[in-house]
Amino acid sequence: MKNLVQLGFAALLSFNMMTVKAQSKTTENSTLWEISGNGLTKSSYLAGTFHIMCSQDFEIKPKVMKALEKSDNFVMEINYTDPAEMTAMQKMFKADKKLSEQLNSEEAKELDNILIAGYGTDLKKMDNSSSQSLYALISMKAIPCPQTEIKMYEIELLQNAIKNKKKVYGLEKVEDQMASISKAYDLKAVIGQLKMGKQYEKLLREMITAFKKEDLKSVYTLFKDDKIMNAEQEKAMLTDRNKNWAEKMPDMMKKESSFFAVGGAHLMGENGVIQLLKSKGYTVKPVSGL
């Protein structure tokens, strides 16, 4: 599908959303959850994804594919089959104002040094990019394999959904997601995150190990450093978005079954999608197999 690879950029951005300090009260190990009750005539499903990983680590459990096959609709964070969303995605790459013009000379020099030393580029090459593009470098650096060996969870699911003629929807717009990132991390905060690239590399390795075991609780307890995600950033990146999604999901499940695929960090915790759906009267339980 034309321009489908653009999803990779959003996935790179989204990895950072998985570094959450909130612990989940849910103890069951599963990346797939069944949603039923509260008037639903057919179950829907909620899958926690790990947006990007190396092909050697990549696996989508058979139960996940079976749940997608049983569902009428495929719902992602953003609908990348929508041409308007693709256009918005392309606009994300460029900034209205150069990065160097948003910094004083010392800050610009520091950013240049960080990019040269840790990310294989420099400020001159990135100057016309948005801060969100700069933010994505963290994930690019953390992935321990060439970009040609990267697999993207949502792309695999989306391709399957398209092949099987599922209707595709999104829970939010590109602009909404970028507004959340910008609210959580302004340019100077992004520079601070770039400095911690090595910490992200270590974190990613540990999170992938836990995710492969479907141990989402461990994924969340691995990372609690306020320097990477404080309470305010968590609210913008996760809590507020979760609440918005939980308001939209009931209508998407009412008449037809839906398969929701969102970053794993959005599932758990007191303000996670699972708990929010339970508070609305739905039964949400882990799926061990279908």
Amino acid at 272: G
Per-residue pLDDT, 10: 54
Say how far apart CA 61 and CA 4 lie, in whole Å.
22
Say how far apart CA 11 and CA 62 lie, in whole Å.
22
Per-residue pLDDT, 181: 85
**E strand spans, 93-246:** 150-152, 167-170
Per-residue pLDDT, 173: 94
Say how far apart CA 102 and CA 95 lie, in whole Å.
11
Q: Which two tokens stand for residue 62?
A: 């058979």
Per-residue pLDDT, 23: 38
Per-residue pLDDT, 3: 46
Say how far apart CA 27 and CA 4 lie, in whole Å.
35
Per-residue pLDDT, 225: 54
Per-residue pLDDT, 123: 96
> pLDDT tens, position by position, for the chain (290 residues)?
444 444 545 554 555 444 443 333 445 789 999 999 999 999 999 999 988 889 999 999 999 999 999 999 999 999 989 999 988 888 877 788 999 999 999 999 999 999 999 999 999 999 999 888 888 888 888 888 888 899 999 999 999 999 999 999 999 999 998 888 888 888 999 999 899 888 888 888 888 898 899 987 777 666 545 667 788 888 998 899 999 999 999 999 999 999 999 988 889 888 999 999 999 999 999 998 65
For 155, other C-beta atoms within 10 Å of its C-beta total 21
Q: Which two tokens stand for residue 187?
A: 């340019």
- Contacts of 162-166 spanning 24+ positions with Cβ under 8 A: 162/1, 162/81, 164/68, 164/69, 166/68, 166/71, 166/72, 166/73, 166/74, 166/259
Among the listed residues 241, 224, 273, the one whose alpha carbon sits nearest the alpha carbon of residue 45: 273
